Chains A and B, each alone.
Chain A
Amino acid sequence: MTLTFKPLETYRDDFSFANSAEAIARFPFPFPEDQYMYSVNLEPATSRDPGSVFEHLFDVDEHYVSEMAERARVLELDPQRCLVMPHMAQAAWDSLALLMQSLATDYPQYFRLARDGDAWHWQNLALGIDQRFTFGDPATLPCEPLEYITRQMQGDFALLDQRDNDLFMDAGMVTCPADWSLRFDAGMSFQQWHAPVPMAHRAGVFERALKYLLNIQVGQPVRRLNWTLTINPRLDTSPETYHQWGSDRGKVTADNAGALVHLRVELQLMVRLPRSNALMFSIRTYLISLDELVTNPAWAQRLYRVMRDLPEPIADYKGISRYRQPLLDWLRPFDPQA
């Protein structure tokens, strides 16, 4: 499949973001069954289904240029969405190496990397970047290395330091989160930053997940899908800006839900970084309006059933409760048995 970038579209103000038919076809629909229950659902992140979001370790799609412009805008308004504690400097370089190597291998028409020892030459033809630098020397890059490379990568990134048999969120670039704040959660342990997830600390789910993540080895990345709903194709649904977007949830009606409500799917990837032993946690976000989604009748029917049966605490946590009724009214006609 050839990758071409759409003309610049927006994730705020006039919300001109939209998916092409190809992007809809490859959307990672996250519900394998008609019911949804929180689960860890981790699988090895091996390449599968050419053309799908699972083909490459880091997926680049038609929205790349627009999403990078959106990230630049968020950082302009709030530079501290990127945070790297001093002891994470090596993990930041590890990330830069992994991301550059992956992009150059998987998308050679847009990304090129030439290395001669520590003298690196990086070309990002999609964004018009041509950078020579010394690997390991931050003074040779225009900004801190994690910020440098993640300004050129779709999705959010958290770098987790492994110590005391736990993982600590000690670095990251987070401009498109589903309602969590890197600045607040920075420095927290795995269970601490998951504290807001309803009922999770009771079920022991996170103890098991942590044990699994601690043992992820170099060359054996894992992934999972997570989801929520977002009003408008807004990437930056952060707590930082909640007072600007939270009221959108009150605007959903049975008439406009198809245009307003978006299914937001996170392809979460966990990779052991070789030199630092840190764990990279990348969160690649895909948005699809319900109008676009229901072009696939099987998805439409299933989404109706999942939304209908979603337990109240999960609906609350995901911020859906306020508009669940008009959403169900809009979706019901797509379930022939409803």
Chain B
Amino acid sequence: MIDVRVAAIHELTPVIREYRLQAIDGALPGFSAGSHVQVHLPDGRRNAYSLLGDPADNSEYRIAVRHQDNSRGGSRYLHQVLCSGDRLRISAPANLFPLYSKARQHLLVAAGIGITPFMAHSRELLRRGEDFELHYAYRSGSSDAYLGELRQSLGPRLHEYPAGIRRLDARALLKDRPLGAHVYSCGPQSLLLAIAEQAAAQGWSPRRVHSEAFAAAEPGLPFSVELQRSGRQLQVGAEQSLLEALEAAGVEIPNLCRGGVCGQCQTPYLKGDVEHRDHFLAANERATSLMPCVSRGCGSPILLDI
């Protein structure tokens, strides 16, 4: 856990703000391109945000947050309540979206706020002098953060897809790439799916395809759980994830992405009806395990084996 101070807040677009975070004492840990941190909110929730600064510079961390109308409150708090000079707690950086060290060409594909991890990636790749392209789909004037900066630093490596003017065509993007190519996508699920489907259709090994989803818990109906070993009963609210309810009750479960991707918070259960919302567990694992960061009860109460 790291205590930081909000050193500056910049409005990048009417819906996206950048936050510069500096350590209150000591130095911030170094990080690799593609890393994220969890920001701990005053209500106990934690949201994951990509570090978008230069990995060579750990004097401060930079994150960018898009205001989500349907947010459970995280982005609203950051946008409307948090001020420059305020303190925040963040987790140490973790990387679930690293560059593939043996790739010979990197194709970075971003939509909207999905640009954030690629800000760090493109700085790293520029420094290493590696072959890469950044493909950026955005809506002018709202989800086009860092566009000017990218035009300047990347030149012809930047390929733009402004909404309503040029459509991002996954098939054309992946066509005729050299053998060492790898593709990375970050944005809505539809983008990730389109890239993965086209890569498979063109015969790419899935090992060449890397993605990071906008992973966050979605609300649902309230449900109840029981902890087998302690016999405790917990109620999970409509706006709360099971992981958050466990944390609120003082039960710490290891976790990194809080979006059903990384697999860290896998928890065994003995009975109950579960609506699995993760992208991690195999079908056969779902009979006995669930991912409390996103998955919810949907019928008879869940008995967790913890």
A interface residues, Cβ below 8 angstroms from B = 87-88, 90, 94, 161-164, 170, 215, 217-220, 274-277
Q: How far does the Cβ of B58 sit from chain A's closest Cβ, in whole Å?
A: 8
Q: Which of A94, A164, A170, A217 has the most CB of B within 10 A?
A: A217
Interface string of B239-280 (1 = CB under 8 A from A): 000000000000000101000001010000000000000000
Interface string of B87-121 (1 = CB under 8 A from A): 00000111100101110000000000000000000
Contact (A220, B101) CB under 8 Å given A215-B264, A275-B30: no
Q: Does B207 contact A (CB under 8 A)?
A: yes
Is the beta-carbon distance between B101 and A161 smaller than 8 angstroms? Answer: yes
CA distance A70 to B33 in the complex (A): 38
Q: How far does the Cβ of A109 sit from chain B's closest Cβ, in whole Å?
A: 23
Q: Does B184 contact A (CB under 8 A)?
A: no
Q: Does B31 contact A (CB under 8 A)?
A: yes
CA distance A86 to B157 in the complex (A): 24
Chain A positions within 8 Å of B262 at CB level: 215
- Nearest residue, chain A, Cβ from B262: A215
| Count: A-B pairs, CB below 8 Å | 48
Is the beta-carbon distance between B102 and A87 smaller than 8 angstroms? Answer: yes
Q: How far does the Cβ of A179 sit from chain B's closest Cβ, in whole Å?
A: 29
Given A90-B128, A161-B102, A277-B32, 5 more A-B residue pairs with CB atoms under 8 Å apart are A87-B101, A170-B101, A218-B31, A219-B29, A277-B35
Contact (A217, B92) CB under 8 Å given A274-B31, A274-B32: yes
User: Which 9 pairs from chain A and chain B are nearest by CB?
Assistant: A274-B30, A277-B32, A87-B101, A277-B98, A219-B92, A218-B29, A277-B95, A217-B94, A275-B30
Q: How far does the Cβ of A29 sit from chain B's closest Cβ, in whole Å?
A: 31
Q: Which size class do B's interface residues fall under?
A: 20 to 34
Is the beta-carbon distance between A275 and B55 smaller than 8 angstroms? Answer: yes
B interface residues, Cβ below 8 angstroms from A = 29-32, 34-35, 55-56, 92-95, 98, 100-102, 128, 207, 254, 256, 262, 264
From the candidates A94, A163, A215, A219, name the one contacting B102 in the complex (CB within 8 A).
Answer: A163
Is the beta-carbon distance between B30 and A162 smaller than 8 angstroms? Answer: no
Chain A positions within 8 Å of B256 at CB level: 215, 217
- Nearest residue, chain B, Cβ from A88: B101
Q: Which of B30, B34, B55, B100 has the most CB of A within 10 A?
A: B30
16 contacts between A and B (CB under 8 A): A87-B101, A161-B102, A163-B101, A215-B262, A215-B264, A217-B256, A218-B30, A218-B31, A219-B29, A274-B29, A274-B30, A274-B93, A275-B32, A275-B55, A276-B32, A277-B98
Chain B positions within 8 Å of A163 at CB level: 98, 100-102
Q: How far does the Cβ of A25 sit from chain B's closest Cβ, in whole Å?
A: 34
Contact (A164, B207) CB under 8 Å given A215-B256, A217-B94, A277-B95: yes
CA distance A218 to B94 in the complex (A): 7
- Nearest residue, chain A, Cβ from B127: A136
- Nearest residue, chain A, Cβ from B92: A219
CA distance A161 to B264 in the complex (A): 20
Q: How far does the Cβ of A42 sit from chain B's closest Cβ, in whole Å?
A: 14
- Nearest residue, chain B, Cβ from A135: B56
Chain A positions within 8 Å of B100 at CB level: 163
CA distance A58 to B98 in the complex (A): 27
Chain B positions within 8 Å of A161 at CB level: 101-102
Chain B positions within 8 Å of A162 at CB level: 98
CA distance A161 to B32 in the complex (A): 13
Is the beta-carbon distance between A218 and B101 smaller than 8 angstroms? Answer: no
